[in-house]
């Protein structure tokens, strides 16, 4: 069999993937401009929004309109891991990975039309808090808060750090630690200071930059390969020059242009794609703090729906923006991107199991002219920063509102604001500490593990939320045991996956049957079924939930009028905050006034004045200075209105949104059918 390759010129003998192509001064100027822009937007949004209350800081004051919400949902979802990972799977196995993206198209709409009305009616800030209101008790809330923080730190932050590191180190030849520390410093500044509003507005800018850059690269790569037809014919000839002759290693998959693949022997079996993928996807889009928090920040339900529609339309693009360019990269550089020999792969990218992860950075460095390369670098950094800030903000919300408030129920609002900000700084440090681990687990293996981790840990949580929202009879005991049993099974499978990694191409498969024959998407289906059964059985065998655990907390009761008792109960934590909230800022004011009005002849005065000015500047940066000005009138203005009005929609707007919903679903179904 012949092993011709389309462009042998792409191989350089020393296997250097990115032969010293340093950035030109124009590229560096573009990068610097990008950073200036991002910081400017971050500072502007800090100026513009009220950051001095818990709602202002963690929910952007509930004042966001639809387009920043939609852009932020997209930017939080599409991290640098997406660019590297989707292009890599495109290069390795074709378009099937797009299924993850197009699944999200529908799930983000399910969030806005089915889940959000319930969350808004319940008046919650975090997802564990919703379960606490719906089921009562503290154990589910604590369990879930800790699980969410675990998932964020071990999967999301590490994936993004890995992908960002790959790019910075290999494509830019920068020192990894310095680069990452600088990036994180910039992100931490506006995340700590500006809260969710700053994150959402900078996300909107990052989305714009990502779309411009990625579409530019897409056009360049399609021109290079001769359009879609060129891609479809040349992809199957993209075979590396050195490979084992009589094995399938290094050959492109025959079903590369199909999303639906063989249910038994393929890498993404179609029943798993339809059902098994949808369950983690529902968890991510409908119950994940990062996503829901953005939607809750919208002015009202209509704006939240508009944001979801915008995200859903944008989710059409990854196939053309990331997956296909990855496939084109394989056509242009088959010996590097599609290497099939473990030794050669290790020389190329340090990962014996394959180098498809370099597909996207390789395209950026090779295809783009000066200036655009700098733009594309900013795109990758934008993707990294936007997803990291989103995780930082949401993780700090969960930590502050679910864990801290549990241990200090009478803490002031002032204290919550400080804790939230300090936790972001803590996460920044954690992210930096991840780098050596990420480098040790070099390569795509890490990436694949993390995709499967989500299939093992998320289904039980997703099913508990779905049953809690749509089945009135579900109770605390059912939900708790459903979570525990589901997660135990998930962890067992996870451990098995780590002990028995997938064999490399050409090696024999010695894994136990449950790992070998049970695809992780099928496992996700089984896990969801077991969790659901557990919740159903335990709930039916124990006492039904009380009236206030259902009122305004399920789909069927979302329109209930707040019960009188409820009215007294629901602002109570806020009221308690109000009572003890005035203490701390007032005290702060007394100190600063005392220091400024103290006798002038004392030498300390200037010092105290300096201190108070320094303090004022610091507090302004953290958005807490208005807190002091309004300290006296904080108590009367504190009780926030119950979010009843935000469920109402204007009839005309509602019709426009519903028509768009139909259009979007039809577009999604057409794409699925066309590429299936």
- State the average pLDDT over residues 571-598: 36
Question: Residue 434: what pLDDT?
Answer: 77
For residue 602, name the pLDDT band (cuts at 50, 70, 90).
Answer: very low
- List, in order, residues 6 or more apart from 211 with CB less than 8 Å away: 314, 317, 321
Which of 64-68, 331-335, 432-436 is predicted least confidently?
432-436
> Which tokens sit at 142?
């604590």
pLDDT surpassing 50 at residue 637: no
591 or 85, which is more confident: 85
The closest alpha carbon to 291, from 409, 156, 479, belongs to: 156
In percent, the amount of the chain with pLDDT more than 90 equals: 25
Do 108 and 668 meet the contact criterion of CB atoms below 8 Å apart? no
> Which tokens sit at 151?
């998932």
The closest alpha carbon to 154, from 431, 460, 456, 390, belongs to: 431
Encode burial over 495-514: b for 16+ CB neighbours within 10 A, e otherwise: eebeeeeeeebeeeeeeeee
- State the average pLDDT over residues 291-304: 91
Question: Residue 20: what pLDDT?
Answer: 59
Query: Token match 């604590």: residue?
Result: 142
- Euclidean distance between CA atoms 505 and 353, whole angstroms: 8
- List, in order, residues 6 or more apart from 583 with CB less than 8 Å away: 412
Tell me the pLDDT of the chain averaged across its residues: 79
pLDDT surpassing 50 at residue 601: no
482-541 pLDDT per residue, tens: 999 999 999 998 888 878 877 777 778 788 878 888 888 899 999 999 999 999 999 999
The closest alpha carbon to 457, from 495, 403, 494, belongs to: 494
Question: Residue 110: what pLDDT?
Answer: 94
- State the average pLDDT over residues 434-439: 71
- Euclidean distance between CA atoms 617 and 629, whole angstroms: 14
Question: Residue 440: what pLDDT?
Answer: 64
> Which tokens sit at 321?
């923006």
pLDDT surpassing 70 at residue 624: no
Distance of CA 16 to the CA centre of its chain: 32
pLDDT surpassing 70 at residue 442: no
- Cα-atom radius of gyration of the chain, to the nearest Å? 26
pLDDT surpassing 60 at residue 446: no
Question: Residue 447: what pLDDT?
Answer: 56
- Euclidean distance between CA atoms 130 and 145, whole angstroms: 11
Question: Residue 653: what pLDDT?
Answer: 92
- Euclidean distance between CA atoms 452 and 459, whole angstroms: 12
pTM of the model: 0.81
DSSP structure string for 429-456: HHHHHHHHHHHHTTTHHHHHHHHHHHHH
């Amino acid at each position: 069999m012949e092993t011709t390759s389309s462009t042998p010129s792409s191989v350089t003998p020393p296997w250097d993937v990115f032969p010293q192509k340093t950035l030109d001064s124009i590229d560096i100027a573009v990068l610097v401009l990008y950073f200036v822009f991002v910081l400017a937007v971050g500072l502007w949004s800090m100026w513009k929004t009220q950051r001095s209350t818990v709602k202002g800081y963690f929910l952007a004051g509930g004042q966001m309109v639809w387009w920043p919400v939609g852009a932020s949902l997209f930017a939080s979802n599409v991290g640098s891991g997406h660019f590297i990972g989707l292009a890599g799977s495109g290069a390795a196995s074709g378009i099937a990975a797009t299924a993850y993206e197009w699944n999200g198209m529908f799930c983000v709409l399910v969030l806005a039309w089915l889940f959000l009305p319930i969350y808004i009616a319940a008046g919650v800030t975090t997802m564990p808090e919703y379960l606490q209101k719906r089921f009562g008790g503290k154990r589910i809330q604590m369990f879930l808060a800790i699980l969410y923080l675990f998932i964020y730190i071990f999967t999301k932050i590490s994936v993004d750090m890995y992908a960002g590191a790959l790019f910075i180190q290999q494509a830019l030849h920068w020192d990894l630690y310095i680069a990452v520390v600088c990036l994180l410093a910039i992100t931490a500044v506006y995340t700590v200071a500006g809260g969710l509003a700053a994150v959402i507005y900078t996300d909107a800018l990052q989305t714009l930059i990502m779309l411009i850059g990625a579409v530019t690269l897409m056009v360049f790569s399609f021109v290079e390969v001769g359009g879609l037809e060129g891609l479809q014919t040349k992809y199957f000839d993209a075979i590396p020059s050195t490979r084992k002759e009589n094995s399938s290693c290094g050959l492109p998959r025959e079903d590369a242009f199909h999303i639906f693949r063989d249910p038994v022997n393929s890498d993404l079996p179609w029943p798993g794609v339809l059902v098994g993928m949808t369950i983690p996807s529902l968890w991510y889009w409908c119950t994940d703090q990062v996503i829901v928090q953005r939607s809750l920040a919208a002015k009202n339900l209509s704006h939240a729906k508009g944001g979801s529609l915008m995200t859903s339309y944008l989710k059409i693009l990854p196939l053309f923006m990331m997956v296909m360019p990855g496939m084109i990269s394989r056509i242009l550089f088959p010996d590097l991107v599609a290497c099939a020999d473990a030794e050669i792969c290790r020389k190329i990218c340090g990962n014996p199991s394959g180098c498809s992860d370099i597909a996207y950075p390789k395209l950026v460095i090779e295809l783009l002219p000066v200036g655009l390369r700098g733009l594309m670098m900013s795109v990758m950094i934008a993707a990294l920063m936007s997803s990291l800030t989103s995780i930082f903000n949401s993780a700090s919300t969960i930590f502050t509102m679910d864990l801290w408030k549990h241990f200090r129920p009478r803490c002031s609002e002032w204290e919550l604001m400080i804790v939230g900000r300090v936790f972001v700084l803590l996460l920044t440090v954690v992210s930096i500490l991840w780098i050596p681990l990420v480098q040790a687990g070099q390569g795509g293996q890490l990436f694949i593990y993390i995709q499967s981790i989500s299939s093992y840990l998320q289904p039980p949580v997703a099913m508990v939320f779905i049953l809690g929202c749509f089945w009135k009879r579900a109770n605390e005991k059912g939900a708790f045991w459903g979570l525990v049993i589901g997660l135990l099974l998930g962890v067992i499978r996870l451990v098995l996956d780590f002990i028995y990694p997938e064999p490399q191409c050409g090696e024999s498969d010695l894994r136990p049957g449950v790992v070998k024959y049970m695809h992780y998407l099928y496992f996700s289906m089984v896990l969801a079924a077991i969790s659901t059964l557990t919740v159903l059985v335990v709930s039916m065998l124990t006492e039904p939930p009380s009236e206030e655990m259902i009122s305004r907390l399920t789909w069927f009761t979302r329109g209930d009028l707040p019960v009188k008792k409820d009215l007294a109960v629901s602002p109570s934590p806020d009221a308690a905050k109000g009572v003890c909230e005035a203490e701390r800022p007032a005290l702060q004011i007394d100190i600063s006034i005392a220091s400024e009005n103290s006798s002038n002849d004392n030498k300390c005065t200037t010092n105290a004045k300096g201190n108070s000015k320094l303090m004022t500047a610091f507090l302004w940066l953290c958005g807490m200075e208005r807190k002091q000005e309004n300290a006296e009138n904080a108590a009367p203005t504190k009780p926030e209105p119950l979010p009843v009005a935000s469920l109402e929609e204007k009839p005309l707007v509602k019709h426009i949104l519903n028509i768009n919903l139909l259009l979007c679903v039809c577009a999604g179904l057409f794409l699925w059918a066309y590429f299936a």
